[in-house]
Structure formats: structure tokens, C-alpha cells
Amino acid sequence: MLNKKVDVYLSLGSNMKNRVYYLLKAILEIDSLEYTQVKKISNFYETEPWGFKEQENFNNIAIKIETSLLPLKLLKYLLNIEKKLDRVRKIKWGPRTIDIDIIFYDNLEINIEELILPHPRFYRRNFVLKPLLDINENINLRKFLKVDCGKIEKITPKVGISGCLLGKNVKYNGKNNWNKVVELLKERINFIDICPEVLGGLSIPRIPSEIRDEKVINKIGEDVTKYFLKGGEKALNILKKENIKTVILKSKSPSCGYGKIYDGTFSKVLKDGNGISSNMFQKEDIDIVSL
């Protein structure tokens, strides 16, 4: 590990299944790495495939991170993220759920079997260069842009999100769960915010609730399941109306929790399971990013 943080630029791409979902998952996984923070995120682009043409178009982005991880350690972590997100390497330059490349690592130049820096082919690829120019004002990159390098079009994905993650004071305690990566994404994504608990008619602030025996019970023992069901249905209708296939939801909650939720004892103990709204979204094939 370095004794300081350095700037690193990464290129990310996806052309399988829900491309925006995989890019968002990758961004958040990278931000969760030790000694690492995402600092900038480019626009999202739809691009034609490069190298192997017989495949679907890609969505591509670039991100700037600050990290104290050494290059090979960072590479190892990024490969693990690719594996976690179902990356399978069968065809060179072929279809993939996620691809994460290190383009620049500080000013380092390296040429070893495991890693070449800067990335040896970045200057031949508009789908790398255009996103990089969104977050790096180095005009030297512009001279590499090709006029005949295939389609590359800026897009603005539409994504649902728990309102508290945007900084809205809709939590049970009247506060929020503002998130710095979400703040960076606000410039690049059309977020449609939802708070199922508020949509269901619960007040701000409100008595905290957890799921117990398939019912939502608040801390004073009241069954408030009907409010959570109503709010989930209203939130789902919003997502359907907006044709949204990806949501970022607050983890652990009885409405938006996904994979792990509090166990109903109000003791911060987690159990496997989903919140009321998350279950509804999942049944409608809406992909969930838990944050």
C-alpha cells in the first residue's frame, strides 16, 4: 500500500442483460474497496462493439478514483469485482456483463505480464476517450479521437432511487442517507425518487418498523403492514409508468432492504430477506442495487 492516495482512471463497459445495472454495481463495488474512493463519474455512452462486431452495443463510462492500493493489488480487486458480477471470458473482446480496465495510474508507466500502463490501446478507442474527456481536461487526449470509430452517443439512464439516498429528509427519524456516489451520479442519471413508506401514508418522522413473521411491526407493537404494502404498490406503479428497470435502494429497511434486513427485534441484528417494496420490484424483474 502507498503512503498517499493517487489518481487512477478506469474505463467500464457492459453489453449484457441490464447494462446500467452492472455499471452502477461496479461503481459502488469499486467505491467500497479499502483505501479507495470514487471521485468523478463520466456521462454514460452507448457505443458500437470494438474488435468483435457480432454482439450487442455497449454502455461505457469512465471514473476517476483516489486510491492507496498498489497497481497489482488494485487490478486483483477489479478482477474480483468482474467475477462477482458474472464476467465470463470466452471470446476475446466478446460480450460481457462488466469490463473494468485501468487506463492511467497516476503517472506510472509499467510493462509486465500482468499489467501494462497506461493501457496499451486506450488511444484507439473513442468509447474510452470520450468518457475520459468528461472527467479529465487533459487536452492531449483529444488528438486521439477518431472520426470513423463507430457510433458513440451520450445517454441519460433513468433509474429509481430511495429518496433518502438523494439527501431528502424522509427517513423514519426525519433525516436522510445522503450518499456521495449518488451525488456524483445525479449529474449523469435521471433519478426518479421514491419513498414507499411516505407514499403509503406514514408520517415524517415516524416510529421505526421492522419485519417480523411476515408482518411489518413498529417499535411499539403496531401492525403497519398495510402502509408498507400501499407504498410499495404506489412506488411500483411509478417505476412502471416511467419504464424503469433499475433501482438503487436503501439497504436493510423493511421497505427497501434487499438481501439482508433487520430481524424484527430492533437490536440491529440482520437476517436474510427483502423489504416489502423490494419483493414487489423483484417480481417485476426490476434490478435492485442495494446501498
Which residues are part of the catalytic machinery? Answer: 87, 96, 99, 101
Alpha helices, DSSP H, located in the chain: 19-31, 71-84, 126-135, 180-185, 196-199, 225-241, 276-283
Distance (Å, rounded) from C-alpha 284 to C-alpha 242? 14
**N- to C-terminal Cα separation, the chain:** 27
| In the block, residue with C-alpha cell 411509478 | 238
Upstream peptide bond of 131 is cis (omega within 30 degrees of 0): no
Distance (Å, rounded) from C-alpha 229 to C-alpha 216? 10
Helices 71-84 & 19-31 angle (0-180, nearest 10): 140
Distance (Å, rounded) from C-alpha 274 to C-alpha 264? 13
Distance (Å, rounded) from C-alpha 99 to C-alpha 95? 9
φ, ψ of residue 55 in degrees (nearest 5): -160, 175
Question: If you write DSSP's letter for every residue of 45-60 in order, what string do you get?
Answer: EEE---S--SSPPEEE
Distance (Å, rounded) from C-alpha 152 to C-alpha 48? 7
Which residues lie closer than 8 Å to 235 by C-beta, 6 or more apart? 160, 194, 195, 196, 199, 277, 280, 281
157 and 187 Cβ atoms separated by less than 8 Å: no
248 and 164 Cβ atoms separated by less than 8 Å: no
